[in-house]
Structure 1
């Protein structure tokens, strides 16, 4: 009898062992696969992360090819590395303290599901449970095969008797089995956005992070790329491009372990953000969005562009508006008459909209500079005696739209809002107030403040239902962050950074629901906010306050790796000694706008501006919705060259900019090989954006096959006398 019982026990054990060994979970795009295996002890391992196999059954064989047997690194390729157990010597993705004070976590496989979503993706959900406690982590992998993009995030929950303290709670945990890794990250500062830094990753941990609370990209970007084995080029190599889609503090860690493999963790920055999770409550982490390209960086960019435009971007199929902004034309010094003249100038210029920037509000504390009035969102009666409705009507009478600047999350200490609601401000009462641009941040963890911020938009729209556009700014990070609302409700202050960001998303969700027709620009003193989640609510973003066109060539180049041109706001200003043509040509590589005094243009320059806007309107659909190809890198050459090609490959526009004004520059020595054309078609090339009496130096009577233009190329003859050249390429 004892022998029978033992036999039955062993049979059950080995059936379970065999069953676990047979569980392989692939997450695939059209080219890439991540494969998970459930081990004999029910842990889930990443056993493969690379090119997709033709035969899915062969994934099982990969587990025998890597000898990850070091006693110190047995859990390095766990699906979601947990702190406290399993010989864990590498950085965890999750660290918790259970309700009974135990601070270990042992996550084992419970189940998984795979479903096709309504937006053409395959959603794999793998549920892990602690081996002892009723603590669960659901890992989500959403894979779009058609654009080769994956979203990863986690949902953490538990059924313990008390509160669980979460000290770390990442969105994504990845493990790669390559040998060499090259990280491209970006250093930021005001007017110096997206400065690339290439770092060969060595054994140890490298991270990119922000702790600013708001305007989180002021000093660093959550965008990055990793080249595998060798540094990827535009058309060759294996490369990952991605970001954490979260507007708050972020932390992305790159750890090279003792096997020289890469362990990547991305999520909310746990800095001063320990979270207390109640039973039966879901904590959903932000999305980690990435693509892996086996055809170089250019293909990776196209993947992200296509994903953003097709699945994430507000008003992805609608036109964007060209505009005239008054900021660099007037700054705070304007009145109703000046603005009416500027509106007439916008009409004469031929743009779609006039945008009124900072300085239009505040009465007790007029907004005549940046140290007063912020938070008092009533039109200044001295500057605008007839209010915003008068200006909206003035624009409508000219046949153009009207837009408005707001910064509703912020407050000046010198304001009625601050006087009336000091408890709405994030600040430490026992500390000196620290200002950034003379302002403080409102407490968006507080539902009353959320209502206030929503009502800023709601009241303006109720009074001006024809208003078409908001430029939403955010200039200050959080200093001495303390929430009186959290304190009053006995919620730990460590929840501040996360709940602030969630509060902002709640406000934006309300605005989107009530005013889906609104176009909104995401502005934050430049590119202080650029996460993909915000593009569900914003149609575009402001890349930098630096509008020098030469600097913008480089800034726009680096942003183009991660964002399609339809999202990128580029304005023509007077912040440069470069020619008007150069400034317009650079700004045309995205969503075109102007910050100039139209009445100060010479007749020749006014005619040129009007012509270039007409040209822009003729090719903007190609730039906004076509495939982008970076042709000549300005970091490696004396010029920059990019082109956009429509889906049918019948039309393209090519931008060429001189970037080295030295006499020894060799920008015109060689033809530039084009990309994305149909080799079988014949094309005719036309130079545009020329002054009325300016003649092109190019031979424009020739016809070229796509094959010729992609193998030999075409020389736009960029030189000191032709510093920017825009070409239209059309199939015959």
Structure 2
């Protein structure tokens, strides 16, 4: 039925294909969360749902203790507020009244309902928006605050999502944590009494946490209830998960209220970023499949959504800053010979850039390194059958640059404090229109005059001293969010003006990966850590939240630069083939035999690439209690082909066989295995294959293909 009202229009029901989300609208606009789970068979079932309310004491809200779907600040509710605001004259804690709702007709698979709340004097309005993607089982949450006709409104907290789960014996929380070169580590823990906050205050999404969560009640990979969410925002964000004294689980999240303010003058509005929510009874695999399908369909930008991600070569680890037309052409020769399809020149091609100490901001081609500009190299790369790409870091500037000398006021800084440099660079105020105009003009000059089809957009430090000389405190507290809006503006400009250009987002690896940036870029650099073994847990953790088509993985030199680990080339390739494949080693130092082997694996990757990039991912390792293997499987949606990656990842106490039961096949069809066995899908899923695990760095790829009658 989609979206409908019951109980004298007090109860609002949001239905997707398989799930339902139910809210009660109480007097004075209080929104109570009633139900979130599997879709119920009949309308009467939704009528019968009981809204849980515990009798109050003098220490709780007079209406009782309940689970909320929206919490305005100032009343006797002490969880994190969904909205906190005050007026210019100091008025706080507005009395919000329910002012009706609007249900739109379904359009392109999405239906929207907006619940309107107004302060009692009609000066300010809040639109709580729910976008229901019925076929995708996803509900998008956001709010828009409008100053209709009041004095200036100071928004101190405006979160996109508030939801509650009823008291139960236990709930578990899953989230992603880490650091630079150690991103996407899965953390799973029981939700106990108290509040857990996961956030970023760095100005970007951060390596240390990611705006994704999942809550379950003992779910496994294949079954069990999982509630999950993804925030589409690339700046300061927070997520609060609280279990109160009565057992309710309260979850809210959105823009971090740390050093945040938004001032609304009469007639102005502020929309929050979108929080995408989903539920499944099919465990963590079902959760990932649901999220990944949604990302493929609605998040990934259209110009390159269906296109295969090409095998790229990146010059960074081969030449670092010592790039030149001559050495890049020599690398292009090697890259083309082994089968690469895109050649990317990394840092060092511009200004007087010979180290990280100078020239960020001066985006003119270095004439000493490229006497005739980039076009001769681009033409050479194209003649070799490869696309050409280039590295940029437009949000940053070095003090040793012409740009900084001309516009020192363009960087973030406090009036009475020294500027903090990190990697010898400062951050430009992307909220300033003149800064964005400068960057757009640079992009026009670069992309408009040369045949460049790929940008790697980097961000190699977090924000600090986020201030602006001559601005008031309230204005300066808006700079964090303005930076994100400015970044999105430039990304949107690239997509509109140069739709053929594919953009990879990078922030020292995984420092800015979220659905907000992925609505505007095509793929991400997962981690600066290119060690093949470390990458296994990084990539597995990433798979819980993000589609493997957007995840870039490189094969680099051995021993690895980070930990000096020596890993066989075959293992390095197998580790890197579980997403978008890239090569980042110094090919001049590879032996003839290594280049021949690399060419073999690149050819094989192109053969299985449609299954990996377009298929469903299964984390088979998760069902192995000893965790001494990494086993990932990819299956085409129609079940016709499957690829299974098997990698040793901590063998101990001698050789032994490993049973691998695959998933996602047609149980009644027959499948031919690349090891020569033909059996039914039921056989492969119930008995599977036996992999003799014998030695360190052992790895293998098994293909399963449906036998057509």
- What TM-score, normalized to structure 2? 0.94
Residue 680 of structure 1 and its aligned partner are, at CA, apart by 0.8
C-alpha displacement of 1:420: 0.7
Mark the runs of 5 or more structure 2 residues left unpaired by the alignment: none
Match of 1:388 among 367, 374, 379: 374
CA distance in 2, matches of 1:42, 1:126: 9
> 1:297-446, aligned counterparts within 5 Å?
297-314=284-301, 315-362=304-351, 366-446=352-432
Distance 1:39 1:154 in 2: 18
Aligned to 1:669: 657
Q: Residues 241 and 665 (structure 1 numbering): CA distance in 2 closer, same or farther, change over 3 Å?
A: farther
The corresponding residue for 2:459 is: 474
The structure with the larger Rg is 1
Query: In structure 1, what is the Cα distance between the partners aligned to 2:323 and 2:73?
Result: 59
Q: How far is the alpha carbon of 1:49 from its aligned partner?
A: 2.3
CA-to-partner distance for each residue in 1:163-201, whole Å, 9 max, x for gaps? 011111111111111422211222221101112222322
Segments of structure 1 that go 5 or more residues without pairing to the other structure are: 1-17, 687-699
* RMSD (CA atoms): 1.9
Q: Choose from 695, 699, 705 the match for 1:724.
A: 699
Superimposed CA distance per residue, residues 674-730 of structure 1 (whole angstroms, 9 cap, x where no aligned partner): 0000011111111xxxxxxxxxxxxx3321110000011112334316611111111
Q: Using the TM superposition, give the Cα deviation of residue 336 of structure 1 relative to its aligned residue in structure 2, in angstroms.
A: 1.7
Alignment partners' CA distance in 2, 1:492 and 1:195: 36
Q: Is 1:563 paired with 2:569? A: no
Pick from 178, 182, 185: which aligns with 1:188? 178
Partner secondary structure for residue 164 of structure 2: strand
Distance verdict in 2 for CA 1:491–1:98, change over 3 Å: closer
Distance in 2 (CA, whole Å) between partners of 1:20 and 1:712 is: 52
**What secondary structure does 1:384 align onto?**
coil
2:113 to 99, 108, 124: 124
Query: How far off is 1:128 after superposition?
Result: 1.5
Q: Which residue of 2 aligns with 1:549?
A: 532
- State the distance in 2 between where 1:106 and 1:203 align: 30
Residue deviations 1:44-63, cap 9 Å, x none?
A: 32222222211133212223
Q: Kindly state the Cα deviation for residue 661 of structure 1 after the two structures are TM-superposed.
A: 4.2
Tell me what 1:104 maps to.
Answer: 93
1:636 Cα offset (Å): 4.4
- Which stretch of structure 1 is more off in the superposition, 252-261 or 302-311? 252-261
Alignment of 1:573-592 (within 5 A): 573-574=556-557, 575=560, 576-592=565-581
CA drift at 1:218: 2.8
Deviation at 1:116, TM superposition (A): 4.2
Please name the residue that 2:682 is paired with: 707
Specify whether residues 116 and 653 from structure 1 end up closer, same or farther in structure 2 by C-alpha distance, changes over 3 A only: farther
SS in structure 2 opposite 1:670?
A: strand
Displacement, 1:287? 0.7
Q: Which residue of 1 is the match for residue 242 of structure 2?
A: 255
Structure 2 equivalent of residue 622 of structure 1 = 611
The 3 A distance-change label for structure 1 pair 458 and 134 is same
1:177 and 1:543 map into 2 onto residues whose CA distance is 36
For residues 355 and 113 of structure 1, the distance between their equivalents in structure 2, rounded to whole angstroms, comes to 49
Alignment correspondent of 1:15: none
Task: State the secondary structure of the residue aligned to 1:146.
Answer: helix
Q: What are the superposed Cα offsets for residues 248-305 of structure 1, whole Å, 9 maximum, x if unpaired?
A: 1001111212221111111101111122111221100001112212110000000110
- Quickly say closer, same or farther: Cα 1:22–1:124, change in 2 above 3 A: closer
- After superposing the two structures, state which structure 1 stretch, 644-653 or 603-612, moved more: 603-612
TM, length-normalised to structure 1:
0.91
Distance 1:209 1:117 in 2: 34
Q: 1:7 corresponds to which residue? A: none
**1:684 corresponding residue in structure 2:** 672
Shift of residue 618, structure 1, vs aligned partner? 1.1
- Cα drift, residue 556 of structure 1: 0.2
Give 1:21 deviation, angstroms: 4.5
CA distance in 2, matches of 1:673, 1:352: 35
CA contact (8 A) 2:27 2:98 kept: no
Q: Is residue 6–residue 12 contact of structure 2 (8 Å, CA) maintained in 1?
A: no
Q: Hey, what's the Cα distance between the residues in 2 that align with 1:142 and 1:665?
A: 54
Q: How many residue pairs end up in the alignment? A: 689
1:335-393 Cα distance to aligned partner (Å, 9 max, x none):
2211110111111111111110001111xxx2111111111101111111122112111
Moved more, 255-264 or 548-557: 255-264
SS at match of 1:108: strand
Q: Residue 69 of structure 2 aligns with which residue?
A: 79
Distance, in Å, in 1 between the alignment partners of 2:278 and 2:693 is 34
